[in-house]
Amino acid sequence: MAIRIDGKAIAAKVKEQVAEEVRGLKAQGIAPGLAVVIVGEDPASRIYVNNKKKACEAVGIYSEEYALPAGTTQEELLSLIDRLNKKPEISGILVQSPLPKGLDEAAVVEKIDPQKDVDAFHAYNVGKIMQGSYTFLPCTPAGVIELIKSTGVDICGKQCVVIGRSDIVGKPMAMLLLHENGTVTICHSRTQNLSDICRGADILVSAVGKAHFVTGDMVKPGAVVIDVGMNRDENGKLCGDVEFSEAEPKAGYITPVPGGVGPMTIAMLMKNTVAAARLQAAK
């Protein structure tokens, strides 16, 4: 039976460390600040934004929220980001996705000052991640690395399989595992013999966004299984990509949903905001 990886407990430790760093920075006259921009009234986005505000309050980071109507134009949104780029109280800028139809998300990301891009989605930061000389890491993949390391399993030399190739999770996840000297395979909708590939994984990360996608027969005995998925099952209950009841008896370590990756994403956002404040103070 797998050991459950407690994302809430690990995230709480990260936030304690961040709070300590924030106190140290404030003693030097540096106050980290995060601006969160939300456009429209997507219910899931509203929950995420509220959770980010609470996390900022808990660790002592100053935060501002900009809630814009769904009819906001591209020019209005870019103008706001331009103002936030120039605002000294703001160390980090986060634009909650998804944006309403008609808005160019890529152009919005590229408008953010790379030194304030605490999501690490800007092309400059993506390039730095590829090189391994980064300041920020995307929050979810960075959180996953922390969860894997918490198990005591050394990523070096392990067969690592990532299901999903999104710019937000799949691709950067693969790069971070590669930086830890894992041997990485990225799987996606066109992958042949997916089950066979997954069965060879010492570390299996699923970020495909489909409930019940990873079944027990796809899990290698003793593997570390990280479930990034946030889905609703046929009963409307929150679940991940992994069929937990089948995978748990076979895996060595496994993340639950909820309570696994989710809390780590916000904890790493707090960490990135502090890193941004340090970077800008050093200019």
Read off the tokens for 149: 């390391």
- Considering the domain architecture, whether residues 186 and 247 belong to the same structural domain is answered as yes
Residues 244 and 144 in one domain: yes
Per-residue pLDDT at 137: 95
pLDDT surpasses 90 at 10: yes
**Does position 248 have pLDDT exceeding 90, yes or no?**
yes
Same domain, 105 and 191: no
Mean pLDDT, residues 229-247 taken together: 94
Dist. CA 247–CA 264, nearest whole Å: 22
Domain that holds residue 33: 29-118
Q: Which of 57, 87, 118 is the last residue of a domain?
A: 118
Confidence (pLDDT) at 44: 87
pLDDT of residue 163: 98
pLDDT band at 39 (very low <50, low <70, confident <90, very high): very high
In the numeric block, which tokens belong to residue 199?
């069965």
Question: Would you place residue 259 in the very low, low, confident or very high pLDDT band (cuts 50, 70, 90)?
Answer: very high
Q: Is residue 162 domain-shared with residue 193, that is, in the same domain?
A: yes
Environment class of 191 (CB within 10 Å of its CB; exposed 0-12, middle 13-18, buried 19+)? middle
What proportion of the chain, given as a percentage, has pLDDT over 90? 96
Domain check: are 45 and 103 in the same one?
yes
Domain limit, last residue, from 65, 86, 118: 118
99-134: pLDDT as tens digits: 999 999 999 999 999 999 999 999 999 999 999 999
Give the mean model confidence (pLDDT) for residues 25-32. Answer: 98
- Whether 271 maps to a domain, the answer reads no
The answer on 108 and 48 residing in a single domain is yes
Average pLDDT score over the chain: 97
pLDDT band at 283 (very low <50, low <70, confident <90, very high): confident
Question: Would you say residue 255 lies in a domain?
Answer: yes
* % the chain with pLDDT above 70: 100
Q: Looking at residues 270-276, what average pLDDT do you find? A: 98
Is 33 within the bounds of a domain? yes
Please give the pLDDT value at position 104: 97
pLDDT in tens, 150-191: 999 999 999 999 999 999 999 999 999 999 999 999 999 999
SS3 184: strand
- Average pLDDT for 48-65: 97
Domain count, the chain: 2
For residue 44, the domain's CATH number is 3.40.50.10860
198 with 255, same domain: the answer is yes
Preceding peptide of 258 cis, ω within 30°: yes
Let me know whether 112 and 196 are in one domain. no
For 201-226, what is each residue's pLDDT tens digit? 999 999 999 999 999 999 999 999 99
User: Quick one: average pLDDT of 9-21?
Assistant: 98
The answer to whether residue 95 sits within a structural domain is yes
Whether 168 maps to a domain, the answer reads yes
Entry pTM: 0.96
The CATH number linked to 156 is 3.40.50.720
**pLDDT for residue 258:** 95
**Active-site annotation, residues:** 52, 96, 119
Q: Are residues 240 and 156 in the same domain?
A: yes
**pLDDT for residue 228:** 98
Q: Where are the beta strands (DSSP E) in the chain?
A: 3-4, 33-39, 62-68, 92-95, 159-163, 183-187, 203-206, 224-227, 231-232, 238-239, 253-254
- Is the domain of 147 the same as that of 215? yes
Mean pLDDT on 47-59: 96
Confidence (pLDDT) at 266: 96
Same domain for 189 and 156, yes or no, is yes
* Domain-embedded: residue 74: yes
Residue 275 lies in a domain: no
**217 falls within a domain:** yes
Q: Both 82 and 150 in a single domain?
A: no
